[in-house]
A and B are shown apart, each in its own frame.
Chain A
Amino acid sequence: EVQLVESGGGLVQPGGSLRLSCAASGFTFSSYDMHWVRQATGKGLEWVSAIGTAGDTYYPGSVKGRFTISRENAKNSLYLQMNSLRAGDTAVYYCARGGNVVAFDIWGQGTMVTVSS
């Protein structure tokens, strides 16, 4: 079964750091682009970062310079290092597979990140 399982969420103070992980199974992880997408409670979806099969990375302006996406193909794992966290970063963070260049075809169940003092 193709599956993505996120972990690492929790409560962190403003200005703090957190590292999310995503464990992939059931497909050749190294052959796919991977993404992080977040969703604040009751709000819409926001793309957060992408990493290509060659390790190239991309970010929207809202997180650029604060978040770092990485992957470890030998462990079928995706990561998101989040620094200088703000209240506005509070959301459920989903790991998603880039099924093709346009769309995200497989999603994890999400991990909740709360930034609060």
Chain B
Amino acid sequence: EIVMTQSPATLSVSPGERATLSCRASQSVSSNLAWYQQKPGQAPRLLIYGASTRATGIPARFSGSGSGTEFTLTISSLQSEDFAVYYCQQYNNWPPTWTFGQGTKVEIK
């Protein structure tokens, strides 16, 4: 079973600053990695898939990078609406399984 580990658990950032979130896989997942944003009381929203491709309608301040076991989500200049919990998620192709990290909460500093 592939385990996804996100760090840090909580990130305190001031509006306008850059936020860097990390996600590590216990074994290589190639580029089969996605990032989601979830706000309280809402369903998750897809931000990034294929490790670096922004989903439809996602602002350019969100970017993803990495491959293999190390991945990063960067928010270049935090807006008030970006304070939320972020999850990474991997896909393993056989047997097909999808696994989430435990999440990183981005809070206002």
Residues of A within 8 A of B (CB): 35, 37, 44-47, 50, 58, 60-61, 94, 99-105, 107-110
In the assembled complex, which residues on chain B have CB atoms less than 8 Å from the CB atom of A108?
Answer: 43
A7–B96 alpha-carbon span in the complex (Å): 26
Chain B interface residue count, Cβ-Cβ cutoff 8 angstroms:
27
- Nearest neighbor of B87 in chain A, beta-carbon distance: A45
In the complex, how many angstroms separate the beta carbon of B69 from the nearest chain A beta carbon? 16
Q: Which of B11-19, B20-28, B70-78, B100-108 contacts A (4 or more CB under 8 A)?
A: B100-108
Besides the contacts A44-B87, A45-B100, what 12 more A-B pairs have beta carbons closer than 8 Å?
Answer: A37-B44, A45-B38, A45-B44, A45-B89, A47-B97, A47-B98, A47-B100, A94-B43, A102-B50, A103-B34, A103-B91, A107-B45
Known: A35-B98, A47-B98. A105 touches B91 (CB 8 A): no
Once the chains bind, are A104 and B99 in contact (CB under 8 Å)? Answer: no
**Cβ of B49 under 8 Å from chain A:** yes
**Cβ of B55 under 8 Å from chain A:** yes
In the assembled complex, which residues on chain B have CB atoms less than 8 Å from the CB atom of A110?
Answer: 43
In the assembled complex, which residues on chain B have CB atoms less than 8 Å from the CB atom of A58?
Answer: 95-97
Q: State the main secondary structure of chain B at its contact with A.
A: strand
A61–B95 alpha-carbon span in the complex (Å): 11
In the assembled complex, which residues on chain A have CB atoms less than 8 Å from the CB atom of B98?
Answer: 35, 47, 50, 104
Known: A45-B89, A107-B45. A102 touches B97 (CB 8 A): no
Residues of B within 8 A of A (CB): 1, 32-34, 36, 38, 43-46, 49-50, 55-56, 87, 89, 91, 93, 95-103
Once the chains bind, are B49 and A103 in contact (CB under 8 Å)? Answer: yes
- Nearest neighbor of A46 in chain B, beta-carbon distance: B100
**Contact among A44, A102, A109 for B32, CB-based, below 8 A:** A102
A35–B100 alpha-carbon span in the complex (Å): 14
A107–B89 alpha-carbon span in the complex (Å): 15
A101–B30 alpha-carbon span in the complex (Å): 13
In the assembled complex, which residues on chain A have CB atoms less than 8 Å from the CB atom of B89?
Answer: 45, 47, 103-104
Once the chains bind, are A102 and B43 in contact (CB under 8 Å)? Answer: no
A107–B42 alpha-carbon span in the complex (Å): 10
